[in-house]
Amino acid sequence: MIIILLMVSTQSIIAQTTNMEKANSSGYAPVNGIKMYYEIYGDGKIPLVLIHGGGSTIESSFGNMIPLLSDYGKLIGVELQAHGRTSDRNGPETFEQDADDVAALLKYLKIDKANFLGFSNGGTTTTQIAIRHPEIVNKIVVVSSNLKRDGMIPGFFDGMKTATLQNMPKGLQEAYLKVTPDKNGLQKMFEKDRDRMINYKDIPDDLIRSIKAPALLMVADHDVVTTEHVLKMSHLIPGARFAAFPGVHGSFIGEAETAVQGSKMPEMTAMLVKEFLNE
């Protein structure tokens, strides 16, 4: 999740408790100097790798989606550098490094090819995986993610310059502390997430055009990423699909901070994702 979501959201939101499936297995992979946490659900030939948003965990981003995607086959949830149960390294977070870490995790798990679904910052990481490691990518789903600075709503980057941990949604803070009860770790994760966004660099058009994997780009109509930006990015990726949903950042996937009680939108999203992946 983009970490100042609640500062910019104006729509009434009802938080929803996630209903996580029980993982078949979980563990830590030694990749590029960190211990990367992962969970595996179900079974299948080409797994779907779920990449959470900034400041998030597997549960807070995908707790409501995993049960809805369970009939797809194998799902792999990951937690990136400094997030959730994954350790940190002496260096900043970058989307390129996150992409390399996920690729190294799949090598560790002996997986040659996968689909990827990334939410928010995780969608930018997913895009970098498709650019930097095309050989492991079957299809990508990029959810509510900006690939350039001008993709964010006005005022987003100005707000980042003065953001503190107090601006981070309480639910995301609690989700981190639930799996890693370390307030210093939470503070460091927040600062690295914030600094990455302050220093955000556009992904050049030629790299976006170089993506060969089939792609589905999704956004909400009241997102912190503009619909115009996501539509424009979908036109840069050859053959990419585009979908817009009513709601705010994360609500149509049932993200823990913005899930709307009783909404069928996550079910619709899961159906669309599975149809795209199974084509």
CATH code, 5-278: 3.40.50.1820
What radius of gyration, in Å, describes the C-alpha atoms of the chain?
17
Q: What is the per-residue pLDDT for 117?
A: 99
Alpha helix (H) ranges present in 180-264? Answer: 183-198, 205-209, 227-236
pLDDT in tens, 184-230: 999 999 999 999 999 999 999 999 999 999 999 999 999 999 999 99
Cβ distance 110 to 144 under 8 Å? no
Cα 261 to chain centroid, rounded: 22
Burial call 229-253: b when 16+ CB within 10 Å, e when fewer: bbebbbebbeebebbebebbbbbbb
What share of the chain in percent tops pLDDT 70? 92
Q: Which residue has the higher pLDDT, 13 or 31?
A: 31
8 A C-beta contact, residue 40 and residue 24 = yes
Q: Which of 7-21, 90-104, 240-254 has the lowest mean pLDDT?
A: 7-21
| 8-12, 62-66, 122-126, range with the lowest pLDDT | 8-12
